[in-house]
Structure 1
Amino acid sequence: MSITTALLPLVGPDFGAVGGAGDLRTIVGALLTYGLVIAVLMVIACAATWAIGSAQGSWPTASKAKTGLYVALGGAVLIGGSLAWANWLLSIGASL
């Protein structure tokens, strides 16, 4: 054990101290799952609308569907990466 480890106590979140922390994790996991499923469905719907709009020559529809596709992809990336980001922050906080 090094001197810095002995002098600095390990500080980290105590999830067991909060009543219902397990229920909270379950709820957050379910919300992330629903959000990711909805984002993927929106990607499919917007991609199909973009393809149909382009094929029929409806450029305003194709343009709005393309924008919707990019927004849905961004949402899917943010939702998918949020759990990994939170775990990374918790591991960084525990090591400080």
Structure 2
Amino acid sequence: MSVFPDFDSLSGVGDIKLVIGAMLTVILIVAVLMFIICAIIWATAASTGNPGLSSKGRTGVLVAVGAAALAGAGVAWVNWLVNLGGQL
């Protein structure tokens, strides 16, 4: 018995896939830009001896890395669940 989701059973599923793909692209672009900007702020603040701004830059870098990791992990998780459903 093969269980697999029927993506064609609902109208507009193709549009939803396009929207989700576009959102993932935007999330990854924003995460990369945030990483670059926060890394520059972190480096500049650390070299000038501003610990408050350095801490905020470091936090921004960690948030950017976390957002990119969660976006990528979300896609991998959904693909794993779809493959798992096919094995039931």
1:23 aligns to what? 15
Matches within 5 A, 1:16-95: 16-95=8-87
**Greater RCO (Cα-Cα under 8 Å, separation 6 or more):** 2
Q: 1:38 corresponds to which letter in structure 2?
A: V
Q: 1:29 corresponds to which letter in structure 2?
A: G
Work out the number of aligned pairs and report it. 88
**Segments of 4+ moved more than 3 angstroms:** none
Q: In terms of Rg, which structure is larger?
A: 1
5+ unaligned residues in a row in structure 2: which ranges?
A: none
Query: TM-score, normalising length from structure 1?
Result: 0.87
Q: CA deviation at 1:85?
A: 1.6
Q: Give the fraction of aligned pairs with identical amino acids, expressed as a percent.
A: 44
Distance 1:27 1:64 in 2: 32
